[in-house]
């Protein structure tokens, strides 16, 4: 092992980074745009292999979204008395598929360097919190739109 090779058995954190980018900070927006472009390029790269379980979880997620949409529109097709059951079924389909989608990919953290695993974990937690905040604010806005006039008169 040469002195320039990493001792831990993990590749250098910057091994995939072009030399002109190493140890250079860029703006948040520029980093975001570059990251999106990098992911888009990786998604289109035929050399990047995806496990069959990942492909299956994507198919399950897509199927659950279609099933959820069917259940959401069933009440409009004359099955109004089953609206609550349809909404619960749609929600369960989506939550089950989303759980599978996340759990299948979660194992990748174990093979990352500690720094990359921590950053990915922080991204997952931040995205989850952001999603919850959007849902709560969306519900709040919906309540204000639907019941705002009534609440303001009291």
The residues spanned by each domain of the chain are: 114-154
pLDDT at position 4 over 50 = no
Q: Long-range contact list for 100-103, CB < 8 A, 24+ apart?
A: 100/57, 100/60, 100/61, 101/57, 101/58, 101/60, 101/61
Q: Higher-confidence residue: 65 or 112?
A: 112
Question: pLDDT tens across 27-81, in order?
Answer: 889 988 998 898 889 888 888 887 788 788 888 888 888 877 777 777 777 777 7
Is the entire prediction scored with pTM above 0.75?
no
pLDDT at position 94 over 80 = yes
Give the whole-angstrom CA distance, residue 130 versus residue 134.
Answer: 6
Query: What is the rounded average pLDDT for all residues in the chain?
Result: 79
Give the whole-angstrom CA distance, residue 137 versus residue 145.
Answer: 12
What number is the average pLDDT over the span 115-136? 93
**Please, what's the b/e burial string for 51-82 (b: 16 or more CB within 10 A of its CB; e: otherwise)?**
eeeeeebeebbeebeebbeebeebbeeeeeee
Give the whole-angstrom CA distance, residue 58 versus residue 102.
Answer: 10
């Amino acid at each position: 092992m040469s002195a320039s090779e990493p001792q831990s058995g993990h590749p250098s954190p910057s091994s995939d980074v072009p030399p002109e980018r190493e140890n250079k900070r860029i703006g948040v927006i520029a980093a975001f745009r570059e990251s999106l472009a990098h992911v888009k390029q990786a998604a289109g790269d035929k050399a990047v292999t995806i496990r069959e379980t990942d492909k299956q979880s994507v198919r399950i997620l897509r199927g659950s979204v279609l099933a959820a949409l069917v259940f959401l529109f069933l009440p409009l097709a004359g099955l109004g008395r089953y609206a609550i059951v349809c909404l619960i079924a749609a929600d369960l389909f989506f939550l089950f598929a989303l759980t599978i989608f996340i759990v299948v990919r979660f194992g990748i953290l174990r093979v990352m360097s500690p720094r990359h695993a921590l950053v990915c974990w922080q991204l997952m937690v931040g995205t989850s919190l952001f999603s919850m905040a959007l849902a709560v604010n969306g519900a709040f806005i919906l309540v204000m739109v639907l019941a705002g006039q009534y609440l303001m008169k009291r």
